[in-house]
Structure formats: structure tokens, C-alpha cells
């Protein structure tokens, strides 16, 4: 039976089970008592928080992680500055990053969400306001959300992944996890490429963000 686990990954934790790249042995997923045999379906940077899905099924892992399947991912983003809805227009229409144009995203301003306190706290500049944005993308580029908000002039201060496809973070405190229903995943879009069933794996080498 396929296992699918939802974890609320805390800030400053690598989305992998080992850390061979640093002599200081940074925090990893190994400290959260996750079931054996599950591996992350996609990545979540060390300096980001929130929903990380893990599974023991290679095909499901690919369905969740591969951008070809266009699974939406929603982030709650605290940005420096005071953007207006008009400022978010480039995110909605697609903007050009160094690695090419992005797909149109869903973006709108939201009230500050009732989240847990981050450890360590976000560093603010008292003279500069901040706002929260809900941003839904259908891609998975390296540090994409941070690059998108920076491109419109509002650097990301805090980034929390709230939803992947049908699975949401609600009810999970940082460092806690629960098994979720893998059958909730909708069928792939007709233009998504199909391939052989891969084996679940964890990348041996992972560039962690400092």
C-alpha cells in the first residue's frame, strides 16, 4: 500500500535525511521520526518552511515533483515593502527570470496569516513595511518564488509552502507529520508526459541553501 506523509518542515532544516556536504551536520529530516522508506517528493529549501510530502512510491513521487504534471503549489509569502494588487500583475501574466519566462501564477494580497512563530525570527527593518502574498505556481524552479518577488521589487522575508495539489498544511505544527490520502491526487493533465515507474530515491548530493 502506498504511503504518503505530509510534514511541516521547520526553517533551517534540509529537505533530506543526511547531510554529507557540511562538517557542521545541519538539521535534516532524520530527526522527525518519519516512516522508513519514504523520500521527499520535490524539494523545499533550507530557509523555507511548510508542507513537504514524502512517499515510498516512485511514480507518485514523480507525479508530485515533476513540473510536467503541473501540480499547483501555494505559498504564503511575507515580502519587504508594500505592494499593491497592481504590483502583482507581472506575477499573474508571467515574468522573465534569468532562466526564462515563468508561467502565469495566481497572486493576491492577503491579511497576515495566523502562523507559528519562526525560529529564529525574521529580521525586519523598522522603517520598511511588509505585506503577505498568496502565490500559486505550477512550476518547480530553483528558488523560484523568491526570485519572482525580487523581480517585481519586493524581496521575500519569509516563505511558507501551504498547499501542494489537494494536500494542505492545516493542523500541522512545525516538525510534526501525518499520513494523508494518496488517492486524493487528481489525474494528470492530458499533455503531461508519462514514463516508466521510477524508484523512490533521495538525491545523494543536494545543494543546501545557506
- Render pLDDT for 39-92 as a digit per residue (tens, 0 to 9): 999 999 999 999 999 999 999 999 999 988 889 999 999 999 999 999 999 999
What DSSP designation does 171 have? T
Per-residue pLDDT, 202: 55
**Given 45, 56, 66, 130, the catalytic residue:** 45
Give residue 209's pLDDT.
43
pLDDT for the residue numbered 196 = 47
Give the whole-angstrom CA distance, residue 108 versus residue 189. 25
Q: Is the pTM of this model over 0.85?
A: yes
CA distance 7 to 1: 19
With 0-12 / 13-18 / 19 or more C-beta atoms within 10 angstroms meaning exposed / middle / buried, residue 107 is buried
Residue 125: pLDDT over 90:
no
69 class by beta-carbon count within 10 Å (0-12 exposed, 13-18 middle, 19+ buried) = buried
Cβ-contact 108, 88 below 8 angstroms = yes
Provide the grid cell at 175.
516538525
Residue 23 has pLDDT above 80, yes or no: no
Helix (H, G, I), strand (E, B), or coil: what is residue 65? helix
Taking the C-alpha atoms of residue 111 and residue 142, their distance in angstroms, rounded to an integer, is: 27
Instruction: Return the pLDDT at 197.
Output: 52
Extended strands (E) in 29-113:
39-40, 49-55, 73-80, 96-97, 100-101, 106-110
Report which listed range, 100-114, 118-132, 196-210, is most confident: 100-114
- DSSP conformational letter for 192: S
| Whole-number pLDDT of residue 186 | 84
66 is catalytic: no
d(C-alpha 133, C-alpha 114), whole Å:
14
Lowest pLDDT segment from 99-103, 111-115, 190-194: 190-194
pLDDT at 205 over 50: no
* Section 180-189 average pLDDT: 88
Confidence grade of residue 115 (pLDDT, cut at 50, 70, 90): very high
Q: How far apart are CA 2 and CA 6, in angstroms?
A: 13
* Three-state SS at 20: coil
> What are the structural domains of the chain?
1-69+165-184 (3.30.70.580), 72-164 (3.30.70.1560)
Q: Please compute the mean of the pLDDT values over residues 151-165 and round it to a whole number.
A: 97
Amino acid at each position: 500500500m502506498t504511503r504518503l506523509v505530509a510534514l511541516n518542515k521547520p526553517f533551517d532544516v534540509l529537505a533530506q535525511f543526511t547531510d554529507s556536504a557540511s562538517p557542521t551536520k545541519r538539521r535534516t529530516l532524520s530527526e522527525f521520526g518519519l516512516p522508513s522508506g519514504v523520500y521527499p517528493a520535490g524539494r523545499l529549501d533550507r530557509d523555507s518552511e511548510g508542507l513537504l510530502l514524502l512517499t515510498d512510491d516512485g511514480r507518485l513521487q514523480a507525479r508530485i515533483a515533476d513540473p510536467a504534471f503541473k501540480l499547483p503549489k501555494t505559498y504564503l509569502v511575507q515580502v519587504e515593502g508594500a505592494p499593491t494588487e497592481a504590483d502583482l500583475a507581472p506575477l499573474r501574466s508571467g515574468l522573465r527570470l534569468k532562466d526564462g519566462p515563468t508561467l502565469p501564477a495566481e497572486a493576491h494580497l492577503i491579511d497576515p496569516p495566523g502562523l507559528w512563530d519562526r525560529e529564529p525570527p525574521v529580521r525586519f527593518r523598522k522603517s520598511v513595511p511588509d505585506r503577505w502574498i498568496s502565490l500559486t505556481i505550477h512550476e518547480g524552479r530553483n528558488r523560484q518564488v523568491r526570485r519572482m518577488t525580487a523581480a517585481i521589487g519586493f524581496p521575500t522575508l519569509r516563505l511558507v509552502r501551504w498547499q501542494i495539489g489537494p494536500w494542505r498544511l492545516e493542523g500541522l505544527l512545525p516538525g510534526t507529520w501525518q499520513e494523508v490520502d494518496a488517492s486524493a491526487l487528481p489525474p494528470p493533465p492530458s499533455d503531461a508526459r508519462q514514463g516508466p515507474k521510477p524508484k523512490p530515491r533521495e538525491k545523494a548530493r543536494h545543494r543546501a541553501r545557506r
